[in-house]
A and B are shown apart, each in its own frame.
Chain A
Amino acid sequence: MLFEGYSTEGFHDEMFDGDGSPRSYARLLFERITSVGDAELRRYQQAAEQALFRMGITFNVYGDQAGTEKIFPFDIIPRIITAGEWSQIDQGLRQRVHALNIFISDIYGEQKILKDGAIPPDLILTAKSFRQACIGLKPPQGAWCHITGTDLVRDKDGKYYVLEDNLRCPSGVSYVLQNREIMKRTFPKIFDHSNVRPVGDYPSHLLKTLQDIAPQGITSPTVALLTPGIYNSAYFEHAFLAKFMGIELVEGRDLVVMNGYVMMRTTKGFERVDVIYRRIDDDFLDPHTFRPDSMLGVAGIMDVYRAGRVALANAPGTGIADDKVVYAYVPKIIKYYLGEDPILPNVPTYVCWDDAERKHVLENLDKFVVKAANESGGYGMLVGPHSTAEQREKFKHAITADPRNYIAQPTLALSRVPVIVDDHFEGRHVDLRPYVLYGTDTFVLPGGLTRVALKKGSLVVNSSQGGGSKDTWVLSC
């Protein structure tokens, strides 16, 4: 029996109560899992993994031998979120993304929030992701960040917290859609009467969001997705989204600025592009404006953008709102622009830039998770309680040398879900990345990427650090 000996060990478990009985909303799932039998369940698990491999749903591992591909490990036991919980998440995300968009507009516009002293101006102006070149830009509908992927976690008490915002090129949504497909293919019975909200319409919403920002007067815009190419770790996702929206997947070398427009090289000459969903960072977007050594971008594209002849999603400059130090101020930002309290709280965060807070962090390094402001993918991180004295010493120096670049958060007891480990279930820590589309309308995908730390006891869920994923079920009632 797979669940024999399963222990919740003082963590919030997404499937079981503290006393070990399935939560009311997970009872149907529990019954189904236990009724199919151990051997069959393991067969489903294998079938799912084989399908991923066969379908080439793989990612490239940076620093690994060229051409090495791995599947993003997938566990077939879904994670369930109730309609009530989701309603709070949905509202909270709408509020947060709305406020962040106003904030970015303000930062590249009047800078009221800085003038009023609600946020220290130095902090913004010294951010690595602050783009001088974006000052004065006015994207359509005041929308800067059209696609957001916000990371949420649950603590011991079962409460949701925002762990970080990803406003540049958040990835992972293709795995959400693909995981659901694989689940339906390998384990169709499990969906009966489960009232799971569908996720398959995401590409349609994304396409509409992109079409909506087309330059004025363009009724049927040519939309393209700009990828760094097949060696990028998210190439699968780029191809997947382009395919499901029926738009072009382009690389920088396919595009050229001509007569004040962005054009792509086709077999019949040059064709105009109106909207670009770019999946390369600001830094690489335009060698004329940003990094001159970039081979991935398009020379002169920022001039066309400023002239309103091409739309970019997300807009250049949005990175300012996903600086991890700025994150600490998001509750203030929400209050400042909307006059509301945040529906989804932040994880308590210490900003090392502040003298008193830094002192506290340095004295308690073994209790905190320390993160560099501009790193992602689990890099540039210290997990205090699991760290060695040597690692702490290294971070101490790094923080003292560049306090602006670090924040610290208490280690949370992230919630856990059962995953299949060989012949039984074990609890593993998870987070959740829901996706929000913002523009003429706001759309929150009911679900999101549930990432699982596959190493026992690990709190790091990133795919680049050996994490896996699960299908996320948002219940409709």
Chain B
Amino acid sequence: MGSFMLSRLANCLYWMARYVERAENVARFIDVNTWLSLDLPGGYQEQWSPLISTTGDETLFAEHYERASKRNVIHFLTFDTRNPNSILSSIAAARENARIARQYITLETWEQINRFYFATQAGAQSAASGFEPSQDFFSEVINASHLFLGTLYATMSHNEGWHFSRLGRLIERADKTSRILDTKYYLLLPSLDAIGTPYDDIMWAAVLRSTSAFEMYRKRYQQISPDRIVEFLVLDLEFPRAIHRCVVSAEASLHIISGTPMGTFGNPAEQQLGRLCAEMNYVQVREIISGGLHEFLDDIQIRLNLTGEAIHNAFFALQPVPAMAQNPGGRQA
């Protein structure tokens, strides 16, 4: 393979990784919520609608379902093909992108995504015949995503295509961490009055578990405290699912792809992401909380979206043929 990369393929690798990451996050939300509902008393049990808010698909959900029951929400998020962000839809889309980029990715990567797809399909089939997806199913999705990531990391050259896939994954991950934090924070805020109850601790721990951050958080701060959790999930530079860590690494990939030195920018995507990183480098958690966490996270989501669009325009969009270069005859040999 030469030093260039087809725009169409770069786009596929970016979305392949994004969709796998998306599926993994949805599996996490459901997994944790299921655990949580086992622990909590009656009043808290039916907390399923916030999951739909987390993925941002309230409108679509309302079109197809009357009630945000556990069963409906899980089906919508897991196997509903009418939901383009369901686990099944995401994995199918990831596999389709992998299939297009098959000659570029390694055989191992292809086999892993293929296996992932068939396992998810098998889950959908057994759900269609009445079996609700089990805890094991969601752990399998998370594991398959890790295996995919590991395979990609260990078998593929860390070249332009790989960096595009990393970019897609990190932008998706930053977005999802911000959404988990946003919805959970609001959901849990009223219970701050009841600080010290066992449920408060359990619910905050669930926020951490949703992002696999529980153990790492404990090592870093020991005691559960909402401000510390915000700090950890937003500003930590070592934890791989923290927003700051995601955007810093995404910025690095973007600069490796373009060759533009860090600290400068060669396209609007680098400008967007660079500015976001710079602000996160200097902001403190108390400023975030006093300025409004929701506003802060909302702003991050908007800027990640803008970055995504800018990446699309800079690398994937069909570039028009420069007017001066057109040569309809082309017969001057």
Q: Which residues of A contact B (CB under 8 A)?
A: 53-56, 222, 230, 235, 238-240, 242-243, 246, 248-251, 253-254, 256-260, 264-271, 300, 303-304, 306-309
How near does chain A come to B269, taking the closest CB pair, in angstroms? 12
- Taking A56-B111, A56-B114, A307-B331 as contacts, is the C-beta distance between A243 and B4 under 8 angstroms? no
B331 and A267 contact, CB distance less than 8 A: no
B330 and A267 contact, CB distance less than 8 A: no
B7 and A258 contact, CB distance less than 8 A: no
Contacts of A254 in B (CB 8 A): 6-8
* Residue from B2, B10, B104, B331 having most chain A Cβ neighbours under 10 A: B2
Closest 8 CB pairs of A and B: A307-B333, A266-B4, A243-B103, A242-B103, A260-B330, A239-B102, A303-B330, A249-B103
A271 to B1 alpha-carbon distance, docked (Å): 13
**Which residue on B lies nearest to A264, using beta carbons?**
B6
B103 and A265 contact, CB distance less than 8 A: no
B110 and A56 contact, CB distance less than 8 A: yes
A267 and B7 contact, CB distance less than 8 A: yes
Contacts of A256 in B (CB 8 A): 321
Contacts of A249 in B (CB 8 A): 103-104
Q: Is B59 an interface residue (CB 8 A)?
A: no
How near does chain B come to A193, taking the closest CB pair, in angstroms? 30
A258 to B164 alpha-carbon distance, docked (Å): 27
Give the contacts of B98-126 with A (CB-CB under 8 A). 99-100, 102-104, 107, 110-111, 114-115, 118
Q: Is B197 an interface residue (CB 8 A)?
A: no
Q: Is B329 an interface residue (CB 8 A)?
A: yes
Q: Is B79 an interface residue (CB 8 A)?
A: no
**Which residue on A lies nearest to B319, using beta carbons?**
A265
* Residue from A222, A249, A257 having most chain B Cβ neighbours under 10 A: A249
B330 and A307 contact, CB distance less than 8 A: yes
A308 to B332 alpha-carbon distance, docked (Å): 11
On chain B, the number of residues with a Cβ less than 8 Å from chain A's Cβ atoms is 38
B99 and A265 contact, CB distance less than 8 A: no
A143 to B1 alpha-carbon distance, docked (Å): 26
B331 and A222 contact, CB distance less than 8 A: no
Write out, one digit per residue, whether chain B residues 296-333 have a CB within 8 A of any chain A CB (1) or not (0).
Answer: 00000000000000000001101101100111111111
* Beyond known contacts A54-B118, A243-B103, A300-B330: 6 more, CB 8 A cutoff: A55-B114, A250-B6, A258-B325, A259-B325, A267-B7, A303-B331
How near does chain B come to A36, taking the closest CB pair, in angstroms? 27
B103 and A259 contact, CB distance less than 8 A: no
B111 and A55 contact, CB distance less than 8 A: yes
A464 to B6 alpha-carbon distance, docked (Å): 32
B96 and A230 contact, CB distance less than 8 A: yes
15 pairs, CB–CB < 8 Å, chain A vs chain B: A56-B110, A222-B2, A230-B96, A230-B99, A235-B99, A253-B8, A254-B7, A259-B327, A264-B6, A265-B318, A265-B319, A268-B4, A306-B333, A307-B330, A307-B331
* Residue from B1, B96, B316, B333 having most chain A Cβ neighbours under 10 A: B333
- Taking A55-B114, A239-B102 as contacts, is the C-beta distance between A267 and B5 under 8 angstroms? yes
**Which residue on A lies nearest to B317, using beta carbons?**
A265
Q: Is B80 an interface residue (CB 8 A)?
A: no
How near does chain B come to A465, taking the closest CB pair, in angstroms? 25
Q: Is B236 an interface residue (CB 8 A)?
A: no
Contacts of A264 in B (CB 8 A): 4, 6
How near does chain A come to B259, taking the closest CB pair, in angstroms? 9
A306 and B99 contact, CB distance less than 8 A: no
Give the contacts of B124-175 with A (CB-CB under 8 A). 160, 164
A21 to B319 alpha-carbon distance, docked (Å): 67
A230 to B315 alpha-carbon distance, docked (Å): 22
How near does chain A come to B89, taking the closest CB pair, in angstroms? 13
Contacts of A54 in B (CB 8 A): 111, 114-115, 118
How near does chain B come to A419, taking the closest CB pair, in angstroms? 26
B6 and A266 contact, CB distance less than 8 A: yes
**Which residue on A lies nearest to B316, using beta carbons?**
A267
How near does chain B come to A221, taking the closest CB pair, in angstroms? 11
- Taking A239-B102, A246-B1 as contacts, is the C-beta distance between A266 and B7 under 8 angstroms? yes
How near does chain B come to A59, taking the closest CB pair, in angstroms? 12
- Taking A56-B99, A239-B103, A259-B325 as contacts, is the C-beta distance between A265 and B7 under 8 angstroms? yes
**Which residue on B lies nearest to A288, using beta carbons?**
B328
Give the contacts of B261-278 with A (CB-CB under 8 A). none
B8 and A258 contact, CB distance less than 8 A: no
Contacts of B318 in A (CB 8 A): 253, 265
Q: Is B280 an interface residue (CB 8 A)?
A: no
A258 to B326 alpha-carbon distance, docked (Å): 5
A259 to B329 alpha-carbon distance, docked (Å): 9
Contacts of A53 in B (CB 8 A): 118
**Which residue on A lies nearest to B105, using beta carbons?**
A243
Contacts of A266 in B (CB 8 A): 4-7
Identify B329's interface contact among A56, A246, A270, A303, CB under 8 A.
A303
B8 and A251 contact, CB distance less than 8 A: yes
Give the contacts of B2-40 with A (CB-CB under 8 A). 2, 4-8, 10
A248 and B99 contact, CB distance less than 8 A: no
A269 to B321 alpha-carbon distance, docked (Å): 10
Contacts of B104 in A (CB 8 A): 243, 249
- Taking A304-B330, A309-B333 as contacts, is the C-beta distance between A267 and B10 under 8 angstroms? yes
Contacts of B118 in A (CB 8 A): 53-54
Identify B315's interface contact among A240, A248, A258, A267, CB under 8 A.
A267
Q: Is B285 an interface residue (CB 8 A)?
A: no
B1 and A248 contact, CB distance less than 8 A: yes
Contacts of B110 in A (CB 8 A): 55-56
Contacts of A246 in B (CB 8 A): 1
**Which residue on A lies nearest to B92, using beta carbons?**
A67
Give the contacts of B73-102 with A (CB-CB under 8 A). 96, 99-100, 102
**Which residue on B lies nearest to A258, using beta carbons?**
B325
B328 and A300 contact, CB distance less than 8 A: yes
Contacts of A257 in B (CB 8 A): 327, 330
Contacts of A300 in B (CB 8 A): 328, 330
How near does chain B come to A285, taking the closest CB pair, in angstroms? 15
Q: Is B257 an interface residue (CB 8 A)?
A: yes
